[in-house]
Amino acid sequence: MPSNAAVAETSATPCCALATSAVTELDAALIAPMFKALGDPVRLRLASLIASQPEVCVCDLTGEFALGAPTISHHLRVLREAGLVRSVRRGTWVYYSIRHEALATLASLLRVTEQV
DSSP state, 21? Answer: S
Domain count, the chain: 1
Q: What CATH number should be reported for the domain holding residue 79?
A: 1.10.10.10
Q: What is the pLDDT along the chain (116 residues), one digit of tens a residue?
A: 445 554 444 444 556 666 667 888 998 898 999 999 999 999 999 999 999 999 999 999 999 999 999 999 999 999 999 999 999 999 999 999 999 999 999 988 887 766 54
Quick check: is 115 in a domain?
no
Nearest CA-CA partner of 93 in 56, 65, 67, 64: 56
Residue 14 inside a domain? The answer is: no
64 part of a folded domain: yes
Q: Which residues contact 5 (CB under 8 A, 6 or more apart)?
A: 80, 81, 82, 83, 86, 99
In a domain, 59, yes or no: yes
DSSP annotation of 85? E
Per the domain annotation, does 72 fall within a domain? yes
CA–CA distance, 71 with 87 (Å, rounded to integer): 17
Q: Which domain holds residue 53?
A: 4-8+20-109
